[in-house]
Amino acid sequence: MNFSIRSVAQDADGWWDLPTGFANTIADVPGVAVGHTTCLHGAARTGVTTVIPHNGDLFRYPVPAGFAVLNGFGKSAGLLQLAELGRIETPILLTNTFGVAACTTALIRRAIEQNPEIGRSRATVNPLVLECNDGRVNDIQALAVTEAMANDAISAASPEFAQGTVGAGTGMRTFGFAGGIGSASRRVALPSGREHVLGALVLSNFGRPGDLRLLGKRVDTPEAGRCDPDDKGSVIVVYATDAPLDSRQLTRLSRRAGAALGRLGSYWGDQSGDIALAFSTANLLSIDSEVVTIERLGEARLDPFLCAAVEAAEEAVLNGLWHAESLTGYDGLRLPALRDQLLPRMT
């Protein structure tokens, strides 16, 4: 099992109700892969992270999906069509606010290469890119994110991946600490004995310094005065599951990310773009299908998945904080690492 915050936090198992998947990451959902590209050149402290629902042709075999905007201070691409059609048809890319355009272009070129008829004899493709503002640490005006970085992240995608200050999470900060990419998973057993997995991956860049709750207990931030005093910056939560949920159910599940952020101490501040999306790897259907028959989870069995969504997102943020390394920003600001503060208390 991946080393995570629950490995060191006292009373962790009493805080959460559901068991984790084997690796305790979003990649416990079969077929899901994650990749990073990190850029630390010059004043850049940024990168790209991808979540790939399956290794096939996503344009021809999209996955059902839904999303929730908790606070809309964000510049993501692709959410409008996702709301209308309820499906994801490209890899999901996470990056900084000014990297959305480059990542969008990379996804369009990639889709056209796989399907040359896109935009001609077929409809256009809907690239999905989500962002957080890493400009407190990264020199965001340098526009360091490129199409090549997006493609490299996709090429690097694997069920095993790093967490913390890596990829899109390199320059992110959470509750005044260094913090970026984190992941966790939960197993859900149905009364029939059937079992499914729900995983979460977060791009974490939110929270007011001093407000962090670790398993319900406040954690102070050293040198909090040097950080922005408000709850702003954004967080993206990506859920994956192998349970047969449709777009409407996945939208409902996405909304539960708000409960996880609240448990951590956030109130979704004015300038925080807080967005969650969820997809299912069940019911992969060709866009050329005329009539389809799908399996769908009964509504009465949805509750444990909603609980799993809260627990997985909460632990994912904490795992991202735990794995993050202290990093000096382009203007000399050095964000402390949560691990450096917690370890002396545990010895």
Residues annotated as catalytic are 234, 272, 274
Which H or E run includes 274?
Answer: strand 273-280
In contact, 39 and 88? CB cutoff 8 Å? no
In contact, 335 and 178? CB cutoff 8 Å? yes
> Angle, nearest 10°, between helix axes 247-255 and 303-323?
50
C-alpha 229/C-alpha 332 separation (Å) is 18
Residue 341 backbone dihedrals phi, psi, to 5 degrees = -80, -35
**CA-CA distances (angstroms) from residue 9 to 1, 74, 114, 315, 337?**
16, 33, 46, 11, 16
In contact, 106 and 90? CB cutoff 8 Å? no
Q: CA geometry: angle at 205 spanning 199 and 208, to 5°?
A: 120
- Pair of tokens at residue 270: 């004015």
Q: What is the CA radius of gyration of the chain?
A: 19
C-alpha 314/C-alpha 308 separation (Å) is 10
